[in-house]
Structure 1
Amino acid sequence: KEAGFNGLVDLVKMKGLRFAANDSGQLNEGDIPADMSDQVEDLRQQLIENIAESDEALLEKYLEGNDLSLDEISATMKKGVAGAGLIGVMCGSAVKNYGVQPLMDFIVQNLPSPLDRAELEVLDAKTGEPRTVALSEGGPLLAYVFKTIADPYAGKLTLFRVFSGELSSDSSVYNATRDTKEKFGSILRIEGKNQSAIDAAVAGDIVAVAKLKETSTGDTLCEPGSDVRFKSLKYPRPVTSYAVMAKSRADEDKMASSLHRLMEEDPTLLLEKNEATREFVLSGVGQVHIDVTAARLKRKFGVEIEMKLPKIAYKETIKGKTRVQGKHKKQSGGRGQFADTWIEMEPLPSGGGFEFVDKVVGGAIPRNYIPAVEKGIANQMVDGILAGYPIVDVRVKLVDGGYHDVDSSDMAFQIAGSKGFKLGFAQCNPILLEPIMQVEITVPDDLTGDVMGDVNSRRGRVLGMEQGVGGQMVKALVPQSEMLTYSADLTSMTSGRGLFTMQFDHYEELPHNLAEKVIAASQKE
């Protein structure tokens, strides 16, 4: 393994395969190393049992104590793989070019040919219910987009497998997933880095077309009027995020466009502009995913980026009530500025946003100036007061005020509204809110206690556990600020055997001692 990896054992043929040291991928077939013989025998026994269990006749022969021939093993394995009852596991190293040839041989020998599949289960486009369609070269077109390549020179390249029918070059195709028609020119056959134009693609072909505008990975391509589509893919949610910025000013605009090109290739990547923190945040399914994306960005588009942990999108709100005056007066000869407002402030339930209520009576403030008061308050809420984060869940009632026939204006009332809101906010027990994430962590049973203890140390709340695929699933609510490095931390804690998903759940009050640190840090910026 790792640096010492230089060969493998074929458990079907019971042969040792050693790779050439020149990274050519060439194999030298020989005996199985003596120090591996016991382990190989155990694994061979497990393989034979799994293969026999997939075929009743073979299982009966095996239980009677008879050996299975190589032909019986190969034929049953191919049948099991075709029916998805067996899944082949290969090992290798792309960096060293190890194991590539055995993988290709396995594909040719064991994966089903398009000619072996007479029908396919898809979904009814209208009802979403499963249904079966017949596959043939003479049937209606049905193709599945399995990959998108962002070529810095040729643009977007869409790769798809034709399951039924025929597709000619310089024509159009219907995208059933997005309910749109796409036109294209040449059909390309892809062989490694080489591309060659072909006249048509038929059932079983894997081909590509360039510059489809609407089509993405996972889409169904078919004939107009078709009533079937493939089941949509469910992609894993991003769990690791970094704030990213271009290393050079010249690459700032290019960075975002290039990352969006990579997102077309990889639906598990996400780039967002966090308006609250004014950062571009790149998210992926793990640390390695982010690192590889940064390397690809440099290699394919020549854009180098800097990465740092993202700022947390805190929010501000109030817990108390008040009545306060907001007055703006600037009169020093000539036309001045004057506006007087009285407002009442109180908190709204979580998710209430901002509610402005006009309670002015008797013409204390002319009707045409009241929207200006609301605008001044709303603008102040966007900018924040405690630490520069947006203010939420506040009801403001405009109850009284005054004006001047000459000196009052929209701007004066905006300023007065903003001043009154700032004064009132300070009197209403203001607090910071932090985002809380819903986290599901799957680990081997023997590590459950360690993970639960770690969750508690991160100010998290364990909600419960249930048996998951590959171990126990711990469900918890954890502050986002405590999860920024969790991908690497979980890998270290579980030796790479832990998995987790994370999504936003709600906002909660940030503890006072931590809020003071956040406020102090914001004042230094």
Structure 2
Amino acid sequence: MAEKSTHTTGAAGRAPSADRPEQIRNVVLVGHSGAGKTTIAEALALATGAINRAGRVQDGTTVSDYDEIEHRQQRSVQLSLVPLEHAGFKINLLDTPGYADFTGELRAGLRAADAALFVVPANEEIDGTTRGLWDECAAVNMPRALLVTKLDAPQADFDTTVERCREAFAFDAPESVLPLYLPLREGAPGSDGEPTVTGLVGLLSRHTYDYASGKRVEADADAELAAAIDPERGRLIEAVITESEDESLMDRYLGGESIDTKTVIDDLESAVARGHFHPVIAVLPAADGSKEGVGTAELLELITSAFPSPVEHVTPVHEGEAALVCDPAGPLAAQVLKVTSDPYVGRLTLCRIFSGTLRPDGQVHMADADTDERVGALSSPFGKTLRPVAQAVAGDIVCVAKLAHGTTEDTLSLPDHHVGLDHWALPEPLLPVAIAAHSKADEDKLSQGLARLAAEDPTLRLEQNPETRQLVLWCMGEAHADVMLERLRGRFGVHIDTVDYVVPFRETIAGPATGRGRHVKQSGGHGQYAICEIQIEPLPTGAGFEFVDKVVGGAVPRQFIPSVEKGVRAQLARGVAAGFPLVDVRVTLVDGKAHSVDSSDAAFQTAGALALREAATNNVRLLEPVAEVHVLVPDEYVGAVLSDLSSRRGRVLGTEPVGSGGRTAVHAEVPELEIVRYAVDLRSISHGAGSFTRAYARHETLPEAIATKVLKAAEK
């Protein structure tokens, strides 16, 4: 790669296009929040001419003009596409959020991409989330490269960062992560006490690439510099030859034969494309955007020369379906990556085309919705600008206007040739946020706004809890919740209030009791008359409800016995002490009285409810839900997790190592009352490296001290 000339092409304001999949490169930027992913995207846009020196395209849009929320919060919260054109290739650069709350957006970017660029700051440790994403890419053998950023920050060190990358990402094959270039420093020391990084020196080419003037200037390395880099150069060549498909190459190299640089570069590109070698490149975008950033030309060369085209991507069809190839002439198969709502354009659907060619005004079948729709206008998004395109061939990524039924992960295919593409793995939202409409006007718009948000974001789950009667948004974390509520207000004009989340406790009775329900009223005309006597007794946990009729002598007419049961069931659902459903009880109707004129179905329903309330008064105990929790954390955090679970009244069932990456699974049972905010707390305990799943196990008796507080709160 380092031997090839680099020529940048592009025109601000014009949408890059490709007629063949071989001309396309789909690359996702991965890294934690603040690593510099969006800065890299802007630097590449500048280097390819997609934006001007002021950082804008012709209509004034910037690369980072995606969402007003992103501007206010100063971080990416959604997947963004930056289409570039370079050396005859169309590069679809996918900028993903780095914050763990927006993992759903990142997973969509991974599905759309054929290769990944992991962005690692030179002045920070590598976080657990980034390590986990590397493992995900490794599981599907996705080609990866590493970009070292922030070399101008205090305490930044390129060599140390490379070693960290090798330890974090390639502990079992450290020679698979090596730099292709070393930073070139000169001038007065910067803020870190080191000379400023002004360029790179290529290990294979022994050339320097100096950006000090604002333009890339290539020259031969002097003898002193060439000698200094020779040890690293030899290490790189040996690592590349090890991955060569030419088995004789290593023998020739070890025998002292000089291997042609072009042969090494070809083998390097092949190893990168196969996901067997992961080059490291230092990138330092110019601070003011008026100069060409260090490493941008080298990065573009890596993307176009070493990363694979969509033709080499395996289409993720459903198991048992015929395999699809990335062929513009093949049957249409596209997948929805993201759905957004634009106040002026309407509904916009971002799609990756895996097979066939998508054209405007054609008919497509939506697999999840099981309906046919007409395709609207096609466009290539750049910030907030939508630049029209005539068509999108296999391998490309395009925005489709006004697809009414498309939801994230849905498949588009031809009406007469249905195709199903696998959904990608998504994390379960585990932070509950209870909400209520601020006013009656907001209540009328709330359901529509929530439905559209749920269609756009599959990591948002809506729940109308029948036991607590709360509307709950299950989110990935606090930042995710804030963005969802802000979108409700800003995009749909819905103002809502957050309320305390209520854990779905249940009530049961402590022991047998009797109750009498008397409902007698006379207010002119027909009155209301019903009296019933019941006995209640507890049943084993999980037994539910039983109703037994032991009335003798017709004390309660037969036609009203179902009415008593109906009234009892209604009261069970409402609860008798704290407003939670009363469960695991047997109710026996033993006696009662009726009036030949004034008794009715409604009267005996009321009497049955009153009888249950009397029998259960001062005889109720609360049950709390207990969850089965599985926590996955790096080994160094296991002690902190175990201690924290113990403080939450958790019962640890066991631990076990997972894989060979130094991670442990902790299995426990924890009351749900104690893990309402565990999605946030675990992230803090494990420094973002931990994850967990939860599943309902059963209800257990709530400790008396806590039950007393719950009952007092219910009385208020």
**How many Å apart are 1:296 and its aligned residue?**
4.2
In 1, are the aligned partners of 2:655 and 2:664 still within 8 Å (CA)?
A: yes
**How many Å apart are 1:359 and its aligned residue?**
4.2
State the alpha-carbon separation in 1 of the partners of residues 569 and 615 from structure 2: 14
State the alpha-carbon separation in 2 of the partners of residues 338 and 368 from structure 1: 14
Give the stretch that moved more between structures: 135-144 or 74-83: 74-83
Aligned residue in 2 for 1:36: none
* Structure 1 residue 212 corresponds to structure 2 residue 212: no
**How many Å apart are 1:75 and its aligned residue?**
4.4
Amino acid at match of 1:279: Q
In 2, are the aligned partners of 1:12 and 1:73 still within 8 Å (CA)?
A: no
**How many Å apart are 1:487 and its aligned residue?**
2.9
Q: Secondary structure at the match of 1:503?
A: strand
In 2, are the aligned partners of 1:239 and 1:283 still within 8 Å (CA)?
A: yes
**How many Å apart are 1:282 and its aligned residue?**
1.9
Q: 1:492 aligns with which of 646, 663, 684?
A: 684
- Superposed CA deviations along residues 447-486 of structure 1, whole A, max 9, x for unmatched, are 2122112111100111111222551110111111111232
State the alpha-carbon separation in 1 of the partners of residues 345 and 281 from structure 2: 34
Q: How does 1:73-152 map to 2 (within 5 A)?
A: 75-76=266-267, 78-85=269-276, 107-114=303-310, 116-117=311-312, 120-124=314-318, 128-129=319-320, 131-152=322-343
- Superposed CA deviations along residues 32-53 of structure 1, whole A, max 9, x for unmatched, are 9xxxxxxx99999998887665
State the alpha-carbon separation in 2 of the partners of residues 91 and 245 from structure 1: 49
**How many Å apart are 1:413 and its aligned residue?**
0.8
Q: Percent identity?
A: 40
In 2, are the aligned partners of 1:374 and 1:414 still within 8 Å (CA)?
A: yes
Q: State the structure with bigger RCO (CA 8 A, min sep 6), 1 or 2.
A: 2
In 1, are the aligned partners of 2:349 and 2:401 still within 8 Å (CA)?
A: yes
**How many Å apart are 1:248 and its aligned residue?**
6.3
Q: Secondary structure at the match of 1:451?
A: helix
Aligned residue in 1 for 2:651: 461
Amino acid at match of 2:307: L
Q: Secondary structure at the match of 1:413?
A: helix
Q: How does 1:148-227 map to 2 (within 5 A)?
A: 148-226=339-417
**How many Å apart are 1:107 and its aligned residue?**
4.2
**How many Å apart are 1:433 and its aligned residue?**
1.3
- Superposed CA deviations along residues 141-182 of structure 1, whole A, max 9, x for unmatched, are 222222222334433322212222223321211233454323
Q: Secondary structure at the match of 1:189?
A: strand
Give the stretch that moved more between structures: 507-516 or 493-502: 493-502
Specify every segment of 5 or more residues in structure 1 that has no aligned partner in the other structure, as ranges.
Answer: 22-26, 33-39
Aligned residue in 2 for 1:504: 696
* Structure 1 residue 324 corresponds to structure 2 residue 515: yes
State the alpha-carbon separation in 2 of the partners of residues 92 and 516 from structure 1: 60
State the alpha-carbon separation in 2 of the partners of residues 93 and 217 from structure 1: 35
Say what the alpha-carbon RMSD is for the aligned residues.
Answer: 4.0
State the alpha-carbon separation in 2 of the partners of residues 91 and 402 from structure 1: 89
- Superposed CA deviations along residues 384-441 of structure 1, whole A, max 9, x for unmatched, are 11111122233323333220101212222111101111122237x4211112122221
Q: Larger % of strand: which?
A: 1
Q: What is the TM-score with the length of structure 2 in the denominator?
A: 0.61
Q: Secondary structure at the match of 2:697?
A: strand
Give the stretch that moved more between structures: 6-15 or 436-445: 6-15
* Structure 1 residue 434 corresponds to structure 2 residue 603: no
State the alpha-carbon separation in 1 of the partners of residues 333 and 471 from structure 2: 39
Q: Secondary structure at the match of 1:508?
A: strand
Q: Secondary structure at the match of 2:324?
A: strand
Amino acid at match of 2:479: V
In 2, are the aligned partners of 1:287 and 1:488 still within 8 Å (CA)?
A: yes
In 1, are the aligned partners of 2:509 and 2:621 still within 8 Å (CA)?
A: yes
**How many Å apart are 1:510 and its aligned residue?**
0.9
Aligned residue in 2 for 1:513: 705
**How many Å apart are 1:140 and its aligned residue?**
1.5
State the alpha-carbon separation in 1 of the partners of residues 548 and 230 from structure 2: 79
State the alpha-carbon separation in 2 of the partners of residues 341 and 260 from structure 1: 46
State the alpha-carbon separation in 2 of the partners of residues 521 and 44 from structure 1: 70
In 2, are the aligned partners of 1:339 and 1:416 still within 8 Å (CA)?
A: yes
Q: 1:284 aligns with which of 448, 471, 475?
A: 475
Amino acid at match of 1:111: F
Relative to 1, partners in 2 of residues 1:302 and 1:180: Cα closer, same or farther, differing over 3 Å?
Answer: closer
**How many Å apart are 1:29 and its aligned residue?**
4.1
Amino acid at match of 1:514: I
Aligned residue in 2 for 1:35: none
Aligned residue in 2 for 1:482: 674
Relative to 1, partners in 2 of residues 1:306 and 1:412: Cα closer, same or farther, differing over 3 Å?
Answer: closer
**How many Å apart are 1:508 and its aligned residue?**
1.6
In 2, are the aligned partners of 1:52 and 1:62 still within 8 Å (CA)?
A: no
In 2, are the aligned partners of 1:341 and 1:398 still within 8 Å (CA)?
A: yes
State the alpha-carbon separation in 1 of the partners of residues 431 and 234 from structure 2: 40
State the alpha-carbon separation in 1 of the partners of residues 284 and 667 from structure 2: 35
- Superposed CA deviations along residues 334-366 of structure 1, whole A, max 9, x for unmatched, are 643211212232334444443334444543322
In 2, are the aligned partners of 1:287 and 1:487 still within 8 Å (CA)?
A: no
Q: 2:596 aligns with which of 394, 405, 413?
A: 405
Aligned residue in 2 for 1:13: 181
State the alpha-carbon separation in 2 of the partners of residues 377 and 356 from structure 1: 9
Give the stretch that moved more between structures: 247-256 or 333-342: 247-256
State the alpha-carbon separation in 2 of the partners of residues 347 and 432 from structure 1: 13
State the alpha-carbon separation in 2 of the partners of residues 78 and 276 from structure 1: 59
